[in-house]
């Protein structure tokens, strides 16, 4: 138990060192948001999708073949 107390006291007096998330967290978040936006902008504008999802007026019956 004494060893745990000494370790916790030593760590409490240690200076705070920034970790990876403190250093690069915001840059990684912004980079991911930009990549996400770029991909969806391409998909929505260039993929050639037809956005009228309702089949009303487009579906016509075919002639019956016997």
Domains in the chain, CATH or no CATH each:
1-47 (4.10.51)
DSSP 63: P
DSSP 57: T
**pLDDT of the chain, 66 residues: tens digit per residue:** 566 666 666 656 667 788 888 899 999 999 999 999 999 999 888 877 666 667 676 667 778 777
Q: Name the helix (H) or strand (E) containing 2.
A: helix 2-12
């Amino acid at each position: 138990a004494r060893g745990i107390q000494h370790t916790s006291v030593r760590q409490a007096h240690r200076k705070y060192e920034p970790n990876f998330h403190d250093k690069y967290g915001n840059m990684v978040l912004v980079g991911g948001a930009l990549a996400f936006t770029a991909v969806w902008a391409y998909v929505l504008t260039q993929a050639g999708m037809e956005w009228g999802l309702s089949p009303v007026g487009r579906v016509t019956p075919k002639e019956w073949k016997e």
